[in-house]
Homo-oligomer: A and B are copies of this chain.
Amino acid sequence: METGKRRRLTPEQRERQIVEGAIRFFAEVGFEGQTRELAKRLGITQPLLYRYFPSKESLVERVYHEVYIKRWQPHWETLIVDRSRPLQERLVTLYREYTQVIFNYEWVRIFMFSGLKGVNITERYLGIVQEKLFVPVCTEMREVANLPSTDEVPLQPEELELAWDLHGGIYYLAIRKWIYHLPIPDDLSGHIERVVYSFIEGTPATLRRFFADQVRQPGVSGA
């Protein structure tokens, strides 16, 4: 019954170990995962968790914080609007860097568990993504497609959806891999290049057709 050695760590080390372990654990089994099982995996006893976190809920909060705060790279926002580089290049760079941050087991699964559970972290996070990434992307796309700037003609929801679509197609790769357990291409970088290329090639025509229809039947969807 005795588990051999009893290792005594500094509170900082132990807390770190618990948080890291909790991230992996909750990412795997969800937040219904039991504290006893978590403790077992950490090689400690269950009550010890309660010495470091007053409740399971507070530990979960900590996990959220650890996974989703501090990972956002503000320079993405400036990267998109840097017109000294072609938009395609900017988008490829952006998505290469972005996937480097979020394409991992913990990020993807915890985000999905949170969404299913109704934790508002998903809504808040994606609100930021839309504001800081998709809106600028659409603004730049207007330029590439030789369409009026967003100052002249305000951004339409339908345009934003095309950015969501690009994003969704890429993120779906992560879902396939870490949630559905399906194989995805090794060459993520090349894939990003191709879907961005398709986006750049296909979107201008779509936008021009959309705005042409708009003129013909103005506000048919809005009013």
Which residue of chain B has the shortest Cβ distance to A201 in the bound complex?
Answer: B202
Considering only residues 186-223 of chain A, those with a C-beta below 8 Å from chain B are 186-187, 190-191, 194-195, 197-203, 205-206, 209-210, 221
Interchain CB contact (< 8 A) of A190 among B115, B158, B180, B199: B158
* A interface SS class: helix
Considering only residues 151-175 of chain A, those with a C-beta below 8 Å from chain B are 157-158, 161-162, 164-173, 175
A180 to B113, CA, bound (A): 10
Residue A179, interface by CB 8 Å: yes
Q: How far is the CB of A118 from chain B (nearest CB, A)?
A: 7
| In the complex, per-residue mask of A111-133: 1 if CB is within 8 Å of any chain B CB, else 0 | 01101101000110010000000
Copies in the complex: 2
Q: Which residues of B contact A30 (CB under 8 A)?
A: 30, 32, 116
Q: Which residues of B contact A126 (CB under 8 A)?
A: 176, 180, 182
Q: Which residues of B contact A116 (CB under 8 A)?
A: 30, 109, 112-113, 116, 179
A126 to B206, CA, bound (A): 29
Interchain CB contact (< 8 A) of A194 among B112, B181, B206: B206
Which residue of chain B has the shortest Cβ distance to A115 in the bound complex?
Answer: B179
Q: B210 and A194: CB pair below 8 A?
A: yes
Q: Which residues of B contact A74 (CB under 8 A)?
A: none
Q: A194 and B161: CB pair below 8 A?
A: yes
Q: How far is the CB of A149 from chain B (nearest CB, A)?
A: 21
The 5 A-B residue pairs with the shortest CB-CB distance, nearest first, are A202-B202, A168-B172, A198-B202, A165-B169, A169-B169
A-B contact pairs, 30 of them (CB 8 A): A30-B30, A109-B116, A112-B116, A112-B179, A113-B116, A115-B175, A116-B116, A118-B181, A123-B181, A158-B190, A161-B191, A164-B172, A165-B169, A165-B172, A165-B195, A166-B169, A168-B168, A168-B169, A168-B175, A169-B169, A171-B172, A172-B172, A175-B175, A194-B206, A197-B202, A197-B206, A197-B209, A198-B206, A200-B202, A202-B202
